[in-house]
A and B are shown apart, each in its own frame.
Chain A
């Protein structure tokens, strides 16, 4: 037994499955974070942007003479000036056939296509002076017709935003499986509903921020960047600014929230780099909150018609959906704005057993800010449509929503399973998760309480939402379509002479705990205490190349790279130990930073001693023995294109039927992300994600008028969830590891967001049921609820 190699999951003193606190959180707690805006470089300039006041308008004339003479102003650049240093881009990918989007310049050359689009940049000695100068610029505009309502985008008489493209569509897609028409024709019941999802935006507390520092003497660009994707941006900066990749250095230290928003290409950011090239000075751009609202990518904005065929016994037989989504005037580079819609149509219905499915997707242009991937891309839409329909069907048939799910969810022994849209589920745990959440919430007692209170005129609602989540995207995800976005990750690890370990990994940290989890894996596999492992992330010159953070992939992909690197380094260390101790490395292992005899457990040598001998007394080692004390490993995700996870959420709320206000009383989430390296960090990912989903249900919506004017670009008017309204969130776990990797970990970053809004919607509709009304338009504002209730 003792000679068996331990798997990392059960090595002695393993940190896998332990909720250790995050070592790198200390700094943040003491006010010692290192966020991009905290840095000020010598001679640094600050940028402000003049933004289009119109949703669609031609620039006739720019008069910047007064601004040029304003105090502190160093440089004013318009679209043409920036274009001489920066190539435009096109937000399409080859694996979205037929997709089209026009070339986009960092600042437009002649036409602004959304209100808030940056059109002119001013670099000045201070941000305040740059803003002063912006106020002195006069632009003559010619207003153009505005396309604000995506419903009319494809009408024949709607003016085209980009006439050269032929229509206002960027992408469309039809998916069909089975005999949909026949099944609907034969159906005992057909449920039909339309769902609306508001436009949201990320509202990270730290706004987008970067400092570009171009050093003319070496032709090198260094960018200190609040970005989750340093490698992708190194590539973008290199190709678009025409600097060879080896001369672009991107450094992402602490990042104040990103959630997918900070991985897209923004005109302001490339302009800031261009300004640094033009001035030869470091240039900072930190978006203010107005700028964040009108220029950080938006997300969601879907209208979905849905139809479901069910038998009188409550068996779901078919589903058909039609998704229309508006993405603004450009598809965002380099990931495109087609991904969200694509995921909506592929994920809808995915938890259930039916096979007849048809989906239509239309992705259209509008004169609004651009829309792109954000946490749980497409999932909340797919989940809300599916789960909403399941509950509507259950209600129509008089079946309890729990029973409805028991009858229709893919059975826990039905795996591997292929969904109607071709998604491959290795193994999910819908039924186990359902039972778990029912137990956590004491479903029957809650229903009894609800019934009792209803008699007293108190209207509470209970809502469930099952979900599936795409994690660990495989090697084919972006590369296939021609995007230079890596799907693999790498890890570099070295022994310090002191016997400590330095480890750098290409996955980045935004507070989710990347560095901690990676250190846990490394320490476990190495046989060393966590304190002995120091992590570095987010620096293109000091870490291996990889995909960084997106698509819930950090642990599942990066973690495997770390595991492999740690194993290789341990073996190398043991070889040195073997040479020193004159025994076979096979007989040795490392525990608690001590080399031990595997059979007896006797301590033979410390890792520090290995460091000392290998680095300073290699003269004592055998001839031609070269200790390998630095290793690197990369990992490419294996198996199906994605590692699917699943889970379920539940919401309990109380509706005030007179005012249309409702109060969330409690929220539950059960999540199955496979092996949990650090359960507390998983729970916190879930909770944070849930609350972003609650924001969608309760408050969040970028409001535009018919002229494409953004109406609520402040934190006083765009409401986000705050502590007082958010309930406690109880998290439970089911563990179904993936067999395609050693650790068995899947992603957990987006699950919370995927299902929260759907659970609230179902709970709200449960509360509304006695009033024979329902709501399918998010957010569920008092205004909408009162309208649904017929009170106004």
Chain B
């Protein structure tokens, strides 16, 4: 289980990265935290000829916020995300996700951007980014474009990124008053990738659910928005009838794929269970109690 031979260059700037990507093409691979890439290399599932280490590039670091936008640099480590006051304040869903990601030794190296680009369908961060309607800044030699989270995740480990692009950061609208967010996840063991999970956000200050957004993960080949179910719950107080109706509607939203340990049917069942839990969770906070 030793990685195959590769060349290694630590890039100091984005333009250096672009040069290298141009020169090496598909054979080059960016390494951020390495917490997904290195296992794959040790398994010899991935055999890049060149590793471009981006850990020294300052433009990719840091969390900043303006009036209405929170900007999170791609190289933000999971632990930084989890301990950032700005994130807690402006995108609390992301802070809630962090404890579910692996373990401290992995959170201290794994990065926010790496999670997004790696696009593991069981990962928390991509689902949360979708709930929060994140916009990802993708830069290449040609310039920068912004892709919304909804358009970014294409399939298993597949994204809308084009060759020659690098993820620089993600923008999120800062949390508005009256909104609550929640993440419910079933994991066999603490820190495992989810068996199934759901991230959600809604305006709940009236005790009713408005603007509800539900994104499931570890269910299909990418995070999935459950719009039908959310529509049913819109305006409701999360009462039994509404939830029952929403559960039924979920079958329109979801088309689960089974994995090694959990069948597609079971995933669908669990998706319904989590629907109820996440809605209760959103509303519980609304009523001023904390869990």
Which A positions have Cβ atoms within 8 angstroms of B?
A: 127-128, 131-132, 135, 288-290, 658-661, 699, 703, 711-712, 714, 716-717, 719, 722, 724-725, 781-783, 786-787, 791-792
Contacts and interface: CB of A to CB of B under 8 A. Distances in A.
Contacts of A135: 4, 44
A714 B192 CA distance: 13
A128 B269 contact: no
Contact of B273 (A127, A128, A658, A724): A658
Nearest to B272: A658
Nearest to A781: B261
A132 B189 contact: no
Given A131-B4, A132-B5, A716-B193, 7 more contacts: A128-B3, A135-B4, A703-B260, A719-B192, A724-B191, A782-B266, A791-B269
Given A131-B2, A659-B273, A782-B195, A724 B189 contact: yes
B263 A783 contact: yes
A470 to B, nearest CB: 32
Interface in B235-291: 260-263, 265-266, 268-270, 273
B247 to A, nearest CB: 12
B57 interface: no
A699 B4 contact: no
Interface residues of B, number: 25
Contact of A792 (B1, B2, B4, B266): B266
B260 A786 contact: no
B202 to A, nearest CB: 22
A4 B5 CA distance: 74
B37 interface: no
B2 A722 contact: no
Nearest to A290: B1
A127 B2 contact: yes
A722 B186 contact: no
25 contacts: A127-B2, A131-B4, A131-B44, A132-B4, A132-B5, A135-B44, A290-B1, A658-B273, A659-B270, A659-B273, A661-B186, A699-B188, A714-B43, A717-B260, A719-B189, A722-B189, A724-B189, A725-B190, A781-B261, A781-B262, A782-B186, A782-B188, A783-B261, A792-B263, A792-B266
B212 to A, nearest CB: 21
Contacts of B261: 781, 783
Given A782-B195, A791-B269, A792-B269, A719 B188 contact: yes
Contacts of A661: 186, 188
Contact of B266 (A290, A711, A783): A783
B186 A783 contact: no
A719 B3 CA distance: 24
B262 A782 contact: yes
Interface string B187-213: 011111101000000000000000000
Contacts of B189: 699, 719, 722, 724-725
Please indicate which of the listed interface residues A711, A791, A792 has the most CB atoms of chain B within 10 Å of its own CB. A792
A714 B39 CA distance: 11
Contacts of B263: 783, 792
B190 A659 contact: no
Given A722-B189, A781-B261, A289 B273 contact: no
Nearest to B268: A792
B260 A712 contact: yes
B262 A783 contact: yes
A789 to B, nearest CB: 10
Contacts of A714: 43
Contact of B186 (A659, A717, A719): A659
Q: Lowest 6 CB-CB distances: which A-B pairs, in order?
A: A724-B190, A288-B1, A128-B2, A792-B265, A658-B273, A792-B266
Contacts of A792: 263, 265-266, 268-269
A717 B189 CA distance: 11
A494 to B, nearest CB: 45
B7 to A, nearest CB: 15
Nearest to A71: B5
Interface in B145-197: 186, 188-193, 195
Nearest to A703: B260
A295 B5 CA distance: 26
A543 to B, nearest CB: 34
Please indicate which of the listed interface residues B4, B192, B269 has the most CB atoms of chain A within 10 Å of its own CB. B269
A684 B191 CA distance: 26
Contacts of A782: 186, 188, 195, 262, 266, 270
Interface string B204-233: 000000000000000000000000000000
Contacts of A660: 266
Interface in B1-44: 1-5, 43-44
A289 B1 CA distance: 8
Interface string B87-115: 00000000000000000000000000000
A722 B190 contact: yes
Contacts of A791: 269
Contacts of A725: 189-190
Nearest to B42: A288
Nearest to A661: B186
Contacts of B188: 661, 699, 719, 782
A711 B260 contact: yes
A229 to B, nearest CB: 27
Nearest to B263: A783
A661 B260 CA distance: 16
B1 A786 contact: no
Contacts of A132: 4-5
Contacts of A786: 266, 269
A719 B268 CA distance: 23
A712 B188 CA distance: 15
Contacts of B186: 659, 661, 782
A791 B192 CA distance: 24
A601 B79 CA distance: 65
A711 B261 CA distance: 11
Contacts of B43: 290, 714
A201 to B, nearest CB: 16
A519 to B, nearest CB: 36
Nearest to B274: A659
Nearest to A291: B1
A444 B56 CA distance: 62
Contacts of A722: 189-190
Nearest to A658: B273
Contacts of A290: 1, 43
Nearest to B259: A717
A256 B41 CA distance: 26
Nearest to A786: B266
B178 to A, nearest CB: 30
A786 B266 CA distance: 8
Contacts of B4: 131-132, 135
Nearest to A721: B189
A397 to B, nearest CB: 34
A714 B193 CA distance: 14
A781 B265 CA distance: 15
A288 B1 CA distance: 6
Contacts of A127: 2
A127 B44 CA distance: 14
Nearest to A726: B189
Contacts of A787: 266
Contacts of B265: 792
Nearest to B196: A659
Contacts of B273: 658-659
B66 to A, nearest CB: 39
A714 B260 CA distance: 12
Contacts of B270: 659, 782
Contacts of B5: 132
Nearest to B5: A132
Please indicate which of the listed interface residues A127, A135, A659 has the most CB atoms of chain B within 10 Å of its own CB. A659
Contacts of B260: 703, 711-712, 717
B254 to A, nearest CB: 14
Contacts of A699: 188-189
Contacts of A703: 260
A724 B190 CA distance: 6
